[in-house]
Structure 1
């Protein structure tokens, strides 16, 4: 059954934020931009929950990049994907696509293939971010999708290898520290060649999953000036464009 994943995804993130808050200082959603936002390009991520986005308005409010949900598992495609993905590009916003993983449904390779066929490609044009894998708490059941830590690492590896084969880029990995520790055993296996998109609703990005020395994207809130979730890029606008080009 096709469905908008956004409300459940947000519920999963609230659960993750609550778990992290028990282990760290802070953990509440922000009323203002974090201090680290001052000189960094601002962006956001959207799904069908945002429907038809006014991209010129988003650009005027400071959006420099956006990730658009394309797919989930192998049964869902965002019905607003074309408006969102192409609309962002027409407005002069660097954009990329992301896939919400359900590792208990099909293999990583199968989901990666479905993703690429339905919007998750990449071109070296300076306007397309590498495909992103959204892997986090299961909004429909067991937190780790019934997979052991080693099998979860294998699933992510399979997904990554297929994305690399089909697009020439390794996927960006979106996750949060608590889930990564719980479901991969805090695996350092991906840090060397995968950019990290960290989810943490707080005044700082905090501790990172094993192996990563810095975040490339940081999702710091689920609402703000821009449609959808609020994000930062860890660098300058020039570096963001260079990252998009690969």
Structure 2
């Protein structure tokens, strides 16, 4: 952080204030921009909204160091924030959670013939995407699945959502937040654009292991609207080895923090969150765990059945090098695990949203 232009008195004040900060180690590097890129998406050549970056996400979401949040009136664009809760320690809150009906997670051996779309259903567009680094996945390739989609963040820049939809983006997961005080600068634009184009949309949060789960859940809730037509929220859990937070917690601690975050979101949005993860983090922490949660799995070289043996899954991210009309540069590509009929059934009414 450059301080050459700051009066000495102000520097002294900041230094004293920093000693009392409780925001965690991420505050120490706030505002230092880097040229890091995600593990799956190359940075576009065109300019993107300016904000400091520092962490990496495999679902196309450049992570940033945590910084001091702006005043609430500037960020609480989705409505009033729930009353803050005092946390002595992170525990799973004992309130009953809404039950999620089963989702279509059985892996078909081959695609089935689809019935004609029913009246009133959203049109499903076939996959027109290309791939800069195509992979031969064998007998059950991504093309075997009926419903394709994308995930995006600020690094895709301005998106022509209407055109992207016709290329096969039947759903989109949009980067919303990470940590306890960073909002993706393109979230509101992408959130509105996807809806206007008729794309089923959901929001995801990149989990930061150096912040409390309660803080992060509150930050997500503050910034992501409670829309009954939205897809379930997603928690993206990976090791943050390329960020300033290099903590590697025990499996028990990881699961405890995830549970606190997911319980709070489920209570607020009325839908069970989806867990996105990558092979190394899964092997360390999630194999055999959280069997009653839907999973979104990254597997860009082999089918999920080989990378995550025995794990049922709902979404598969099969490429971080997709190419499509409507977006500049590369984009993450995904499929829903089921037929077109199962997709329409799954996106139908689930639960009544929780009340404030």
Given that 1:109 and 1:159 are in contact with CA atoms closer than 8 Å, whether structure 2 keeps it comes out as yes
1:170 aligns with 2:275: no
Secondary structure of the equivalent of 1:44? strand
> Of residues 204, 213, 218 in structure 2, which corresponds to 1:98?
204
Q: Which residue of 1 aligns with 2:295?
A: 196
Give distance in 2, aligned partners of 1:201 and 1:91: 28
Gap regions ≥5 residues in structure 2: 1-29, 41-55, 60-131, 351-356
**Cα displacement (A) at 1:38:** 2.8
1:219 aligns with 2:324: no
Give distance in 1, aligned partners of 2:237 and 2:301: 20
Gap regions ≥5 residues in structure 1: 15-28
Between structure 1 and structure 2, the one with the greater Rg is 2
Q: 1:211 to 1:150 in 2, by over 3 A?
A: farther
Give distance in 2, aligned partners of 1:159 and 1:112: 5
Q: 1:8 to 1:63 in 2, by over 3 A?
A: closer
Structure 1 residues 78-117: aligned runs within 5 Å: 78-104=184-210, 106-117=211-222
Q: Which residue of 2 aligns with 1:233?
A: 336
Q: Figure out how many residues of one structure are paired with residues of the other and give that number.
A: 223
1:136 aligns with 2:234: no
Give distance in 2, aligned partners of 1:224 and 1:8: 14
Secondary structure of the equivalent of 1:52? coil
Give distance in 2, aligned partners of 1:32 and 1:56: 27
Given that 1:177 and 1:207 are in contact with CA atoms closer than 8 Å, whether structure 2 keeps it comes out as no
Given that 2:236 and 2:276 are in contact with CA atoms closer than 8 Å, whether structure 1 keeps it comes out as yes
Q: 1:124 to 1:5 in 2, by over 3 A?
A: farther
**Cα displacement (A) at 1:76:** 0.9
Q: Which residue of 1 aligns with 2:261?
A: 159
1:7 aligns with 2:7: no
Given that 2:135 and 2:301 are in contact with CA atoms closer than 8 Å, whether structure 1 keeps it comes out as no
TM-score, reference length from structure 2: 0.57
Give distance in 1, aligned partners of 2:34 and 2:199: 24
> Of residues 132, 141, 147 in structure 1, which corresponds to 2:249?
147
Given that 1:30 and 1:203 are in contact with CA atoms closer than 8 Å, whether structure 2 keeps it comes out as no
**Cα displacement (A) at 1:43:** 0.5
* Aligned-CA RMSD value: 2.7
TM-score, reference length from structure 1: 0.80
